Amino acid sequence: MNRPERIYNVSHTQLSIARFYGGCKIQGADYHYDAESDTLTRMDIWQERIASDKEAGKKAAKAEREKWTKAQNSFVAF
In a domain, 40, yes or no: yes
Does any domain span residue 49? yes
Domain containing 65: what range?
Answer: 6-71
Q: With respect to residue 1, please indicate whether it lies within any of the assigned structural domains.
A: no
Residue 66 within any structural domain of the chain = yes
Q: What is the 3-state secondary structure (H, E, C) of the chain?
A: CCCCCEEECHHHCHHHHHHHHCEEEECCEEEEEECCCCEEEEHHHHHHHHHHCHHHHHHHHHHHHHHHHHHHHHCCCC
In a domain, residue 33? The reply is: yes
pTM for the structure as a whole: 0.72
Evaluate whether residue 14 is within a structural domain: yes
Residue 76 falls inside a structural domain: no
In a domain, 26, yes or no: yes
pLDDT tens string 19-64: 888 899 998 999 999 888 999 999 999 889 888 888 877 887 888 7
Domain count, the chain: 1
